[in-house]
Structure 1
Amino acid sequence: MNLSGKLLSIPFIILLSALFLITSCLKENSTRRSNRRAETYKNLQYGTNTDINNKRVDLKLDVYVPEGAADNQTFPMVLYVHGGGFSEGDKNGASALMLKFADSGFVAVSIDYRLIPEDGSSPCTVDPLQTQYASYMAVQDTKAALRYMVANAAAYHVDASKIFLSGNSAGAVTVLNTVYLSQSDFSNMIPGVEIKLGSLDNSTNSLTNTYTIRGIAANSGCLPDPSYITALNAVPMIFFHGEKDEVIPVDKGHTYGCDNTPFVYGSESLYTRASALETAAVVHIDPGGSHLPYNSNFLAINESCFFSSILSGAPESGYYTGNESSCR
């Protein structure tokens, strides 16, 4: 399968786990670079775990700090999860987006997470259990990366009370799952998963730092049902989606249009759910767009603006089509 041809053959989630203490990858252990817009710290190891083939994987992230940060200055943080159908892609593909976030006054973090091997299967014949494992491992790793960044917030100028999540495609699914699906949700969907593969929140590293997510940006993402968003757990959200998306339906339907793949709810359904709960939400719909129709510049401008509106206490809401900006 290609990048858009394997995003989510999932009822959604499962786990592969191992505990490993990783608290020492600070600035001196990374590759440090300066550029015009950000001080970057590359290849910081936030944890380690085994992949689907029981191979040990060191998991790393990159941090982009706004240029010229004073010693004690802190910034809100955006942690980004890349797309690629849970089988390809890496943190390096988001460098342009990360620099744009740093330009806008955010510490930007791009993570690698465990992937499943490319096997050439079509979206309609891929082994769903493999992708269930992969999607759950992605949530595990995202949670571990969040704990790592909170543990090391001072080292990278992060205001740990102002944390946001952003993701594209499989990454958008991951950030939505991270916020809205609990361990009990996963266990109900896949009985015995916690016993078989361990806890959702204790894997990849053994850090115990806590965090609160202030908002989510989901580009071509979905959930298994809008009801996972409740009045108790809802956070402000901004969505981006192509109306002709062939991978994840903009409203609801089977992923990839395959009869045997999961029935999911895309950005329009999730926007409607948020609005019904009176949770701030913005959705951008490209009427002729397929999967991932918006470029990094459009995403960065509108996401950073939306996150800033949350911090101001007056988050934006609204439905936008085409290239109309929601940034006011």
Structure 2
Amino acid sequence: MKKILLFFAALAGFATSAQDFKTLTYFVNDSTKLELDLFVPKEKSKEKLPLLIHVHGGGFSGGQRKDGHHICGYASQHGYVAATITYTLYMKDKNFSCGGQVPEKVKAFQIAANQLWQATLYLIKEAGKYNIDTNKIFISGSSAGAETVLHAAYWDRNLMALYPQKLPADFKYAGVISGSGAVMDLNLITKQNLLPMLFFHGSVDPVVPYDNAAHHYCPTNASGWLMFFGGYSIFKHVAELQGTARMVTYCGGGHEYSDEMFAKDQAGVVSFMDRVLKKEHFYEHTVVTTGKKGDKDDKYGFCD
């Protein structure tokens, strides 16, 4: 494992106020209308461009697609078409913590993942109009959005489908970027379906476990008890599968770091995608000291 120690520095966020985007409807049925904001590079390209689709966080009960404007605006200025999507906030007015119900939690993941698949399908159909290379589609998400992209990448799309319109059977995403995300079952990720991944996660996140633990660290008798395998757990799994991944650990950091790279280190996100498109193979761990109290409680030895 390549381990790099960096000192935390506050970076200025990328301003997207001057960035143009189009709001498009990507899905409509009798009960639902979903939109996305599409950012397209201003400079024309003779070659087809890679695409990034971003899913905002908010516990499946809050957040909005404009939360993804910082990363999408930056990516579009660096050669990517980028979209940030609206999806159904299924857990609004419901308990998403220990007092909730596991089937409801799973349903929230399933709806969001299906709607991400629909956004992907829409942009594949519109690829000619927006000069998109459909073999180079990345997905990214923060918190609930990260849980969405991870499950969208690795679930059986036929088994978990909610809508009749489906992605091509042989379609695979080019890579996944997860900000404080997790999967419910590590066995979903196999040698056969493994994708390049970038993870960033606070090491003492009390909401979505950094390693493997129950969601919200719920007691085993809780109605909402659900095992989660967080960024570091998946990162270790990738090593066993000899895959490509980069992990950024915010030592002592909590769930407030779920949007950190999307808001403050967009260059790191784009660099990851660029390297994947160059077919680089890497397995790297970057450790960032935050100076927070949790640093001294680090059980992994990263902050020693």
Question: If the length of structure 1 is used for normalisation, what is the TM-score?
Answer: 0.76
Question: Among 261, 278, 283, which residue is 1:312 paired with?
Answer: 278
Q: What is the Cα deviation at residue 181 of structure 1?
A: 1.4
- Deviations along 1:45-77, whole A, 9 cap, x unmatched? 111246xxxxx120111110112225x543110
Aligned to 2:126: 152
Cα pair 2:60 2:92 within 8 Å, conserved: no
- Deviations along 1:141-162, whole A, 9 cap, x unmatched? 0111100000001112211121
Cα pair 1:306 1:316 within 8 Å, conserved: no
The answer to whether residue 248 in structure 2 is matched with residue 267 in structure 1 is: no
CA shift in 2, pair 1:117/1:309, >3 Å: closer
**Higher mean C-alpha displacement, 276-285 vs 91-100:** 91-100
Superposition map of 1:149-228 within 5 A = 149-183=123-157, 199-200=161-162, 202-203=163-164, 206=165, 211-228=171-188
> How far apart are the structure 2 equivalents of 1:127 and 1:208?
30
> How far apart are the structure 2 equivalents of 1:290 and 1:113?
25
> How far apart are the structure 2 equivalents of 1:184 and 1:209?
11
Q: Which amino acid aligns with 2:226?
A: P
CA shift in 2, pair 1:120/1:214, >3 Å: closer
Q: Indicate the RMSD between aligned Cα atoms, in angstroms.
A: 2.3
The answer to whether residue 103 in structure 2 is matched with residue 129 in structure 1 is: yes
Residue 66 of structure 1: SS of its match in structure 2? coil
Aligned to 1:104: 78
Superposition map of 1:69-80 within 5 A = 69-70=44-45, 72-80=46-54
Aligned to 1:189: none
CA shift in 2, pair 1:208/1:174, >3 Å: closer
Question: Among 183, 208, 215, which residue is 1:248 paired with?
Answer: 208
Cα pair 2:74 2:266 within 8 Å, conserved: yes
Percent identity over paired residues:
27
Q: What is the Cα deviation at residue 95 of structure 1?
A: 1.0
Aligned to 2:218: 258
Aligned to 1:47: 27
> How far apart are the structure 1 equivalents of 2:101 and 2:185?
22
> How far apart are the structure 2 equivalents of 1:68 and 1:165?
23
Structure 1 gap ranges (5+): 1-33, 51-55, 187-198
> How far apart are the structure 2 equivalents of 1:137 and 1:122?
15
Q: Which amino acid aligns with 2:34?
A: L
Residue 274 of structure 2: SS of its match in structure 1? helix
Aligned to 1:68: 43
- Deviations along 1:3-39, whole A, 9 cap, x unmatched? xxxxxxxxxxxxxxxxxxxxxxxxxxxxxxx975x54
Aligned to 1:289: 253
> How far apart are the structure 1 equivalents of 2:103 and 2:152?
19
> How far apart are the structure 1 equivalents of 2:96 and 2:190?
35
CA shift in 2, pair 1:150/1:323, >3 Å: farther
Question: Among 247, 262, 266, which residue is 1:300 paired with?
Answer: 266
- Deviations along 1:166-224, whole A, 9 cap, x unmatched? 111111111110111115765xxxxxxxxxxxx34x34xx3655632111101111112
